[in-house]
Amino acid sequence: MHVLIIGAAGMVGRKLTERLIRDGHLGAAPITAMTLTDVIVPDRPEAPFPIVALQGDLSVPGEAERLIAARPGAIFHLAAIVSGEAEADFEKGYRINLDGTRYLFDAIRLVGGGYKPRMVFTSSIAVFGAPFPEAIGDEFFTTPLTSYGTQKAMGELLLADYSRRGFFDGVGIRLPTICVRPGKPNKAASGFFSNIIREPLAGHEAVLPVDEDVRHWHASPRSAVGFLIHAATMDTAPLGARRNLTMPGLSVTVGEQIEALRRVAGDGVVARIRREPDQTIRGIVAGWPRNFDASRAESFGFTAERTFDEIIRVHIDDELGGSWVK
């Protein structure tokens, strides 16, 4: 099995690559080769099979054909311009997130001759737009309030139609907000959800810009990789024509995040969180979904953490070698 990861230089792409190398197989199929690509050339880790790392822009005509020339049996399409950038640069967002996706799908369609790879497409809960029900169910309509969400919703529709037509075997997964996100604090409006856990555990102060009753939907990076691998290996027959799934996650308030941190790491760590209300971030976050009913994905075997304590422990195990700054 040749595996192609598009968007391999991102956080989830790197973790997926590591996991696949560690596993050595995807489902029952031994991995024989891997192609990694992104707009910056991805790292090429050591592996018991050949890995090619390519710099490339999926929205450039011909690039998709180059990527599928080796006829990968599984394709992870993680590449996207993120929400803020797609909002700031209208044309770039549509070019990368919509046209790039369509070029990829069409390149596969035009191969023909029985080539029908598994296609895993990362969508987003940004396909939904307020007002929401208290928990967003599997049949709720997609009315995005960003261009990014619009592009992801259009990608979902293409994925379903191209799968129905038999051009590939697609699964679209709507990822929760990934928490705890490793790395440095970033300026994304959602950054604080991870910052208030990661920074105190590293001995640094973290700023909390919203009230503790803000509720949001989370899963760990480890779960995100699990979703991707399950989407690449699951039996797709029971999906029928409904190829896009809201992934399971955990709905918690910021206050519950903080109490979990206290249980796992103690009062001293929690004391490093500094309240500094920010009306702009409060306003943005107020329009975000708070909770989902992901029964359908759960019925197909997707799983995520059930407590925020677990999410914190995953971070401590996977990123901090099991310990933190007391």
Is 162 considered catalytic here?
Answer: no
Could you tell me which stretch among 138-146, 196-204, 277-285, 315-323 binds a second copy (CB under 8 A)? Answer: 138-146
Interface mask toward a second copy for 165-204; x: CB under 8 A: x---------------------------------------
Q: Does 299 bind a second copy (CB under 8 A)?
A: no
Interface mask toward a second copy for 75-114; x: CB under 8 A: ---------------x------------------x-----
Contact 147, 94 (CB under 8 A): yes
Q: Does 140 bind a second copy (CB under 8 A)?
A: yes
Angle value at C-alpha 172, between 171 and 177, nearest 5 degrees: 140
Contact 134, 84 (CB under 8 A): no
Q: In the numeric block, which tokens belong to residue 108?
A: 């596969």
Rg (CA), the chain: 20
- Binding-residue total with a second copy (CB under 8 A): 23
Q: Does 161 bind a second copy (CB under 8 A)?
A: yes
Interface residue with a second copy among 7, 144, 249, 289 (CB under 8 A) is 144
Could you tell me which stretch among 141-149, 174-182, 228-236, 259-267 binds a second copy (CB under 8 A)? Answer: 141-149
Q: Nearest CA to 291 among 179, 140, 132?
A: 132
Q: Nearest CA to 158 among 91, 83, 106?
A: 106
Nearer to a second copy, 43 or 161 (CB): 161
Complete DSSP assignment for 271-323: TTEEE---HHHHHHHHTS---B--HHHHHTT----SSHHHHHHHHHHHHSTT-
Q: In the numeric block, which tokens belong to residue 96?
A: 């990368």
Residues 223 to 242 in contact with a second copy, rule: CB under 8 A: 241-242
Catalytic residues: 148
Give residues in contact with a second copy (CB under 8 A): 90, 109, 129, 138-145, 147, 150, 153-154, 157-158, 160-161, 164-165, 241-242
